[in-house]
Amino acid sequence: MTVGILAHLAGSRPYRELAKEIAARGFPYVQLALSKAITDVDFSLGRLSPGLGNEVGGALADEGVRIAVLGCYASLIDLDDEIYRHNVERFKEHLRNARHFGAPTVATEVGVPPAKDPALLEKHWDRLHAAMDELVEEAERWGVTIGLEAAQNHLIDSPETMARTIERYPSSCVGVVLDPCNLLGRHNIDRQDEVIREAFRLLGPRIVSAHAKDLKRDADGVPRETAAGSGELNYGLFLDLLEKQKPRGFVTLEAVTDGNMQEAARFIREGRAAARR
């Protein structure tokens, strides 16, 4: 049973150094956000190419590290036309070049609405639907999967809002990056088992990757992110459902440091192995 890591958690570096560093830490795959992880290449809009993808992806492959997911975290709901257009074009550029990096999926959270005004929320949903109309067409053209990830305070913030979105796009090129901690907050952490089960009921067949971190309540009862295995998440339930639904799928560590990433990786490996018994 394997586990990967967000590439930039091994330190932002020149890409060949990054490849060696990730391999040295024993991770066989990464989620790679290009500009976050790599310091010696300009990845701004218009710069991606098949050659660049082959060079960076090849450097990782030479060290035995695959790219499970390209991260392109940009708001797809911005009401500013210029920002919105830039973000959509950037995501499309990632989709066009993902296969040259060796990545099957390009992932994002969709964006945080700045206000809860119902009229504005409707406009943000319209923006997301317009963006997805373009992105799904691009993904299907290039045979790459869009991985949507829910997160607290984002427009897509729950199993239900994610389900409504992906039901609108039945394309096999639209999938879900499932992070159970992103579905939980102060309002529902005490019924986390119900939330996790509902996520798998609604989204299970569309899961393309999962994230592994944990939540631990502070003195005020607010859940804070921490390394997998050091908080309150019911990992027995989560990994059992994940291995039943998507056996041997990608699981990527978040919220780890140099001091705890190996312990978190061991925890996930052992948990996945136990879920298969």
Burial of 54 (0-12, 13-18, 19+ CB in 10 A): middle
Exposed/middle/buried for 215, CB within 10 Å: 0-12, 13-18, 19+? buried
The domain total for the chain is: 1
Instruction: Report which secondary-structure segment, H or E, holds 224.
Output: strand 223-226
At residue 56, does pLDDT exceed 70? yes
Report the distance separating Cα 21 and Cα 117, nearest Å: 46
CA 269 to chain centroid: 19
* pLDDT beyond 80 at 266: yes
Please report, for the domain that includes residue 127, its CATH number. Answer: 3.20.20.150
DSSP state of 13: B
Compute the average pLDDT of residues 229-237.
98
> What pLDDT shows up at residue 116?
76
Mean pLDDT of the chain: 97
Instruction: Tell me the whole-structure pTM to 2 decimals.
Output: 0.97
Count, residues in the chain: 277
Mean pLDDT of 214-224: 96
Q: Which two tokens stand for residue 53?
A: 């993808």
| pLDDT recorded at residue 1 | 66
Over the stretch 247-265, which tens digit does the pLDDT of each residue have?
999 999 999 999 999 999 9
Q: Over 80: is that where the pLDDT of 63 sits?
A: yes
pLDDT above 80: residue 54? yes
What confidence tens digit (pLDDT) does each residue in 142-180 have?
999 999 999 999 999 999 999 999 999 999 999 999 999
pLDDT value of residue 271: 97
Extended beta strands in 81-133, E state: 105-109
The residue segments making up the domain with residue 219 are: 4-275
Q: Residue 257 class from Cβ within 10 Å (0-12 exposed, 13-18 middle, 19+ buried)?
A: exposed
Q: Classify residue 189 by its DSSP letter.
A: G
Asked if residues 111 and 150 have their Cβ atoms less than 8 Å apart, the reply is no
The C-alpha atoms of residue 44 and residue 35 are separated, in whole angstroms, by 8
Q: Element (H or E) spanning 15, and its range?
A: helix 15-24
As beta bridge partners, residue 149 has 109
What pLDDT is recorded for position 118? Answer: 85
Confidence of residue 277 (pLDDT cuts 50, 70, 90): confident
